[in-house]
Amino acid sequence: MNLQWYPGHMTKARRAMEESLKLVDVIVEIRDARLPYASANPDLKKLGQGKKRLLVLNKADLADPAVTAAWEAFFRAGGVEALSVDSRSKNQAERLRKQLDLWAAEKSEKDAKRGIKNRPIRVMVAGIPNVGKSTMINSLAGRASTKTGDKPGVTKGLQWIRLSRSMELMDTPGILWPKFEDETVGLHLALMGAISQDVLPLEELAVRGIRLLEETYPGVLAEKYGLSRTEAYEMLQELAEKQGFLKKGSVPDTEAAARRLLNDWQAGRLGRISLEKPEESEE
């Protein structure tokens, strides 16, 4: 199987990212809590050297809580500050704010010692497409935020949202690219809808997903849809029959079933499921 889905605009995005990174002190790196390995950017560590990094395991409301806790512990053990959140919740974004406030205070203290006053800490939210960057920016910024406008020497159009006297947030997220050369990564991202599902025919994608689910959360599909078959493609056919997805001549419409299955999974209707565990992955 060949997963060719590296989008050409990513080269441009990388350059823009490098420019933007020069302007910030802190990177809030958003990953998907259901796939913290696949939703990582391979180069961010290097690109963000010398910056503070806060790793956010987002969409934690959709992920398996025990697995997410294991991921948090895994990252912290490696010296990376990690927080799991549902970024649609302002309360949860507040937990992030607390960590950022702490870093802002540290920075002001350091600056003060060098005779620099009132230079706010600058924060950028970054991550691969669809992990929830804009949602996080909205939750962090809230309604009370004011835009500070363009600054000299800063890319035109780039705006900063003042979060407090000591903190500014870049109002556009840094878009990063995933580890596109890794086939399993492509599969996991496609299953969670983080990249175009065109990487595989829908039915094949669903069949691969069913196999993964049966390995890690056996019985979850049987319970959700009342399935009795155990072979992945047959399960898809049975799902089509049960849902009344039939083509001419009562042939099961497995493509419609695949779409239903993937939509249900991505929306959390199969329960809280994590595709990746820390022991299987490296950061």
Minimum distance from residue 192 beta carbon to ligand G4P (Å)? 10
Pairing of strands 121-127, 174-175: parallel
Q: How far is the CB of 38 from ligand G4P (least distance, A)?
A: 14
**Residue in 25, 29, 64, 86 binding ligand G4P, rule: CB under 6 A:** 86
Is 172 a binding residue for ligand G4P by CB under 6 A? The answer is no
Work out whether 178 is an interface residue with ligand G4P (CB under 6 A): no
By beta-carbon proximity to ligand G4P, the closer residue of 47 and 232 is 47
Q: Within 60-79, which residues bind ligand G4P (CB under 6 A)?
A: 61-62
> Is 88 among the residues that bind ligand G4P (CB under 6 A)?
yes
Round to whole Å and give the CA distance between 90 and 139.
5
Candidate list 36, 48, 120, 132; residue touching ligand G4P; CB under 6 A: 132
Measured in residues, the chain has a length of 283
As a dihedral over the C-alpha atoms of residue 120, residue 83, residue 277, residue 11, rounded to 10 degrees, the angle is -20
Is the torsion defined by CA of 203, 204, 210, 216 positive or negative? negative
Is residue 186 close enough to count as binding ligand G4P by CB under 6 A? Answer: no
Q: Under the criterion CB under 6 A, does residue 35 sit at the interface with ligand G4P?
A: no
**Which are the contacts of 246, defined by CB distance < 8 A and separation ≥ 6?**
240, 252, 253
**Residue of 48, 120, 173, 209 that binds ligand G4P (CB under 6 A):** 173
Q: Where does this chain touch ligand G4P (CB under 6 A) — which range of 81-89, 115-123, 142-150, 182-190?
A: 81-89
The residue ranges that bind ligand G4P (CB under 6 A) are: 58-59, 61-62, 86-88, 127, 129-135, 173
